[in-house]
């Protein structure tokens, strides 16, 4: 027996929707680390921050590695059996994180959690998309819910870490997974989704090569600054290992009857431009590291106040979601919606550039964080929709893992690493420039300490302003690119006019074929009538 739903027929529809929302609320934010409480993990375990940044990247890599095989895994097992086992495993991994002090366990568990939770969330996508019907409207509601949820979870992770300790949040996540496993054992049906398929067709070596490619890359992005980049043999070796792993992965796909990944969609115009726009989005999202440096290092905010800043993005995220639902419902072309998203991100960068001073008040955060929230929500929804638009399901599933890793890990990781490097270099230059004002007359031995601190803070502000200045210049170029991009429409109407004058118009030939076919149908219909 097959059942494309999730729950038994006797379960009321409102209860089914409530269980789906609870699953999303618990599973989607689940990870090996939570960005808000990384500083508490560092203090509690005595490990370097870079390990937990690596673990944060590993969660996305695990999700991307699972994506190409997720449909086969879905059809192999009964829904209830698979869901209960996955929730129990996720709960055990969260409990493991609450009891360990080894940073490499966090890295490994984050990778596995990302892999497992993608199998859970695919079960939720299909019924929700069936309920909404329109894929664009689904993205508008779904991404808004997830992005708002992530900001709230990041805040409460810090709040609970302060009130109790960092282990408590992991224990709460584990308990939530176990409760959901019990509920779904009761309410879910025990039938297959469709025809049972075998697992031996999955090429696990390709999965391993995919993971090794991006885990080595994540090591480079996480430890690059700490290891001094190309002056470190570890960074060089990790970069070489990532390149070799990807080369082996690409070559292996050419020899498989059922390849794990497909590179066919990357020749499509919308995918190429979508990947570029996702890279541009990563340029803006990478500014989070600069923002945290300014908020914590210069303004002296504690971790809870810094986490509260992300909550200020929620009104912008909600507005972006509401506009997206309206936009897709009316089937308005995407260009101006994407343009508005990049405009909001550029506005955020401009406001931050002019507002970064020592006298910065908390009230000044409302406008830039609202713009950042709107831009993030609008671009996550619209660019993702545009990138995957009009792709066949098989091709999309075989490449969406790479696109997911590109959007959430590579694009953000590359720019975060670049900003970290530039901020250090610009800061050294700024201190050198400010040093000309330091002499025995302006900095006396009695107040040298306070003046040195002031100079250091001003150097951080100068470096951050310089980076935001370059981002603004790049952002203006991005707006010009988006405004002039055709988004699937004919760029120049006169080209089609010239083709028509030359007798080579595609439209003209199509009309001739349709006319000929119509005449034949009329002839066929006229025969019996006569």
The pLDDT tens digits for 108-145 are 999 999 999 888 888 877 777 777 667 788 888 888 99
To the nearest 10 degrees (0 to 180), the angle between helices 135-163 and 166-187 is 140
Per cent of the chain over pLDDT 70 is 87
How many other CB atoms are there within 10 angstroms of residue 269's CB atom? 10
CA dihedral for 434, 435, 436, 437, sign (positive or negative): positive
Instruction: Find residue 7's DSSP bridge partners.
Output: 188
pLDDT number for residue 513: 62
Q: How confident is the model at residue 10 (pLDDT cuts 50, 70, 90)?
A: confident
More confident of the two residues 247 and 436: 247
Q: Across all residues in the chain, what is the average pLDDT?
A: 83
Q: Where are the domains of the chain?
A: 1-201, 204-257, 265-437+447-488
* Residue reference for tokens 């619209």: 382
Say whether 287 sits in a helix, a strand or coil.
Answer: coil
The vertex-53 CA angle with 50 and 56, nearest 5°, equals 155
Q: What class does CATH assign to 1-201?
A: mainly alpha
* Across 96-111, average pLDDT: 92
pLDDT in tens, 142-186: 889 989 998 999 899 899 988 888 889 999 999 999 999 999 898
pLDDT number for residue 522: 33
What are the phi and psi torsion angles at 188 (to 5°)? -80, 150
Of the ranges 292-296, 314-318, 436-440, 472-476, which one carries the lowest mean pLDDT score? 436-440
pLDDT number for residue 365: 93
CA-to-CA dists, residue 36 to 39, 124, 166, 336, angstroms: 8, 27, 11, 33
pTM, to two decimals = 0.85
Question: Nearest to residue 173, comparing CAs of 244, 90, 242, 229?
Answer: 90
Task: Kindly tell me if the per-residue pLDDT of 491 is higher than 60.
Answer: no
Q: What class does CATH assign to 265-437+447-488?
A: mainly alpha
CA distance 141 to 118: 19
Task: Kindly tell me if the per-residue pLDDT of 528 is higher than 50.
Answer: no
What are the phi and psi torsion angles at 224 (to 5°)? -55, -50
How many other CB atoms are there within 10 angstroms of residue 449's CB atom? 10
pLDDT number for residue 490: 45
Say whether 2 sits in a helix, a strand or coil.
Answer: strand
How many other CB atoms are there within 10 angstroms of residue 17's CB atom? 13
Q: How confident is the model at residue 500 (pLDDT cuts 50, 70, 90)?
A: very low
Q: How confident is the model at residue 408 (pLDDT cuts 50, 70, 90)?
A: confident
């Amino acid at each position: 027996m097959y059942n494309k739903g999730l729950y038994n027929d006797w379960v009321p529809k409102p209860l089914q929707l409530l269980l789906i929302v609870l699953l999303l609320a618990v599973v989607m934010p689940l990870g090996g680390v939570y960005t808000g409480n990384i500083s508490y993990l560092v203090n509690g375990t005595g490990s370097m921050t870079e390990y937990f940044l690596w673990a944060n990247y590993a969660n996305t890599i695990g999700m991307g590695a699972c994506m190409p095989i997720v449909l086969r895994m879905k059809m192999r097992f009964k829904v209830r059996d698979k869901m209960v086992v996955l929730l129990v495993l996720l709960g055990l991994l969260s409990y493991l994180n609450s009891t360990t002090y080894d940073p490499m366990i966090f890295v490994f568990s984050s990778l596995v959690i990302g892999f497992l939770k993608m199998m859970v969330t695919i079960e939720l996508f299909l019924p929700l998309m069936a309920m909404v019907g329109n894929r664009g409207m689904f993205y508008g509601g779904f991404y808004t819910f997830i992005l708002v949820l992530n900001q709230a979870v990041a805040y409460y992770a810090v709040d609970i870490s302060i009130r109790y300790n960092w282990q408590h949040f992991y224990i709460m996540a584990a308990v939530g997974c176990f409760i959901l496993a019990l509920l779904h054992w009761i309410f879910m049906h025990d039938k297959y989704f469709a025809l049972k398929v075998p697992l031996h067709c999955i090429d696990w070596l390709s999965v391993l090569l995919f993971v090794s490619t991006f885990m080595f890359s994540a090591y480079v992005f996480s430890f690059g600054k700490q290891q001094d980049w190309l002056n470190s043999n570890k960074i060089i070796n990790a970069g070489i290992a990532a390149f070799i792993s990807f080369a082996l992965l690409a070559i292996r796909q050419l020899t498989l009857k059922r390849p794990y990944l497909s590179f066919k969609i990357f020749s499509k115009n919308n995918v190429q431009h979508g990947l570029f726009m996702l890279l541009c989005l990563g340029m803006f999202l990478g500014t989070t590291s600069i923002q945290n440096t300014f908020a914590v290092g210069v303004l002296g905010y504690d971790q809870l106040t810094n986490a509260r800043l992300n909550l200020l993005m929620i009104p912008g995220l909600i507005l972006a979601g509401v506009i997206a639902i309206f936009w897709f419902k009316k089937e308005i072309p995407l260009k101006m919606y994407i343009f508005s998203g990049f405009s909001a991100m550029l506005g955020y960068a401009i406001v931050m550039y002019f507002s970064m001073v020592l006298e910065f008040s908390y009230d000044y955060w409302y406008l830039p964080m609202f713009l950042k929230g709107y831009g993030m929500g609008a671009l996550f929804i619209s660019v993702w929709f545009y990138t995957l638009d009009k792709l066949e399901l098989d091709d999309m599933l075989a490449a969406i893992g790479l696109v997911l890793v590109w959007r959430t890990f590579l694009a953000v990781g590359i720019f975060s690493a670049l900003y970290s490097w530039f901020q250090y270099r610009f800061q050294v230059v700024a201190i050198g420039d400010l040093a000309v004002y330091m002499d025995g007359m302006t900095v006396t031995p009695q107040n040298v300490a306070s003046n040195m601190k002031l100079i250091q803070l001003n150097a951080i502000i100068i470096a951050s302003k310089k980076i935001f200045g370059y981002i603004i210049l790049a952002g203006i170029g991005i707006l010009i690119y988006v405004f002039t991009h055709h988004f699937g429409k004919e760029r120049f109407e006169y080209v089609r006019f010239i083709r028509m004058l030359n007798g080579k118009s595609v439209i003209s030939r199509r009309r001739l074929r349709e006319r000929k076919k119509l005449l034949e149908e009329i002839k066929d219909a006229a025969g019996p009538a006569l």
